[in-house]
């Protein structure tokens, strides 16, 4: 292996930090508009577009640093690595938001969910919805690893797409 060959991990860390910073700015923007409680489809799509864009840019920069060559495996490592680093930053931001910046954040989320459940499911009683919310609170911790896994899968897919587009094998000679 060539000593000057770039390492996917270094690029994944750099672009993961960039993606994490962009995501935090996006979430702060949502918070300033009072939209941080909502997870509507447009907000989720914007998040995926941001992630995919940063992954593609990271893959392009890696290919450029690697003399114009890119293996599909490196693209997969980059996509997954960038997404995981950004997810860890996002989870730290969420932890700080929900425990220090706005300690009542999760209670407000549950209240919004309760109101929506009452409207969407008029056959349920308020007690049944309260039981569901109590169950959600017991298992809220599972959101952290699930978010990490989902981000890794989205990064893997973005890395696969980017790798298939930009793949260029080194000549055998």
The model's pTM is 0.90
Whether 172 is covered by a domain: the verdict is no
Checking if the pLDDT of 2 tops 60, the result is no
Task: Answer yes or no: is 23 within a domain.
Answer: yes
Number of domains in the chain: 1
Residue 1 lies in a domain: no
Residue-wise pLDDT tens digits, 114-136: 888 888 988 988 899 899 899 98
Phi/psi-derived region of residue 102, left when phi > 0, alpha when psi is between -120 and 50, beta in every other case: beta
Cα 161 to the chain's mean position, in Å?
A: 17
In a domain, 127, yes or no: no
Give residue 83's domain range: 8-102+147-166
Give domain status of residue 21, yes or no: yes
Task: Look at residues 169, 156, 172 and name the one whose alpha carbon lies nearest to residue 82.
Answer: 156
Residue 58 neighbours by CB distance under 10 Å: 27
N- to C-terminal Cα distance for the chain? 14
Separation of alpha carbons 124 and 62, rounded Å: 53
173 found inside a domain: no
Give the model's pLDDT for residue 4: 79
């Amino acid at each position: 292996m060539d000593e000057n060959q770039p390492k996917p991990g270094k690029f994944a860390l750099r672009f993961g930090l960039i993606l994490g910073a962009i995501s935090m700015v996006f979430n702060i923007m949502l918070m300033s508009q009072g939209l941080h409680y909502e997870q509507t489809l447009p907000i989720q799509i914007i998040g995926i577009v941001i992630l995919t864009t940063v992954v593609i840019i990271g893959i392009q920069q890696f290919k450029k640093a690697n003399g114009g060559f890119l293996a599909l495996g490196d693209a997969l490592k980059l996509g997954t690595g960038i997404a995981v680093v950004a997810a860890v930053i996002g989870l730290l931001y969420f932890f700080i938001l929900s425990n220090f910046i706005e300690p009542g954040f999760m209670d407000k989320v549950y209240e919004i969910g309760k109101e929506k459940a009452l409207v969407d499911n008029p056959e349920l009683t308020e007690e049944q919805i309260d039981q569901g919310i109590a169950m959600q609170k017991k298992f809220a911790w599972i959101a952290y690893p699930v978010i990490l896994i989902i981000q890794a899968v989205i990064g893997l897919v973005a890395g696969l797409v980017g790798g298939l587009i930009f793949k260029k094998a080194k000549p055998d000679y």
